[in-house]
Structure 1
Amino acid sequence: MTAWFVIAVPLVIMLFALFMERVEARLRHVAVREDEVEQFLEQARPDEVRALYGHGIGRALELFRLRRLGGRATRTRPRRPRGDRSPSQFG
């Protein structure tokens, strides 16, 4: 029984560490850096502040970054208005 315990505990700890590393990597991409928030609070425009209030810091920082890039980032696929669909798209 003790031999199984000696083998199982290190394996469980290693698996837990690998799992937590994956969780940390995902959180690292989602996290907001402190200097970004400071820059936002110092230089935000009214529409960006409204986005902060209405949608949270993620959307507000996205608008802030787009403005700082000068609008170089564009959507990959333009959206069509709802009424502009051909009959072949309905079926």
Structure 2
Amino acid sequence: MTVWFVIAVPVVVMLFALGMERVEHRLRHVSVRGEDVEEFLEQARPDEVRALYGHGIGRALELFRLRRLAGRAAKGKQRSLRS
């Protein structure tokens, strides 16, 4: 019985460590940078703040980025029309 315990515990610990490494790897790619949050808090609109409250920072930043990209695209079109 003790032999199985001595063999099983290190194996379980190694499997747990490998599992946590995979979780950590996924979280690294999903995490939000501090600069993004700071910029969001300085320039957010009410609908983006509601998204932050209702759906979390991921959805709120997605709306914020879409608005910024749409603004940049509109400025690009205006510049091309002037030329």
1:10 aligns with 2:10: yes
Equivalent positions of 1:1-91 (< 5 A) are 1-70=1-70
User: Per-residue deviation at 1:11?
Assistant: 0.9
**For 2:50 and 2:4, how far apart are their aligned partners in 1?**
58
* RMSD of aligned residue pairs (Cα, Å): 2.5
Structure 2 SS opposite 1:41 = helix
Structure with bigger RCO (C-alpha 8 Å, 6+ apart): 2
Normalized per residue, the structure richer in helix is 2
Task: Give a deviation string over 1:42-74, Cα, whole Å, max 9, x none.
Answer: 1213332232234332211101122333479xx
The total of aligned residue pairs comes to 72
Paired AA for residue 18 in structure 2: L
Instruction: Give 5+ residue unaligned stretches, structure 2.
Output: 73-83
**Same amino acid, percent of matched pairs:** 85
Cα 1:25/1:71, change in 2 over 3 Å: farther
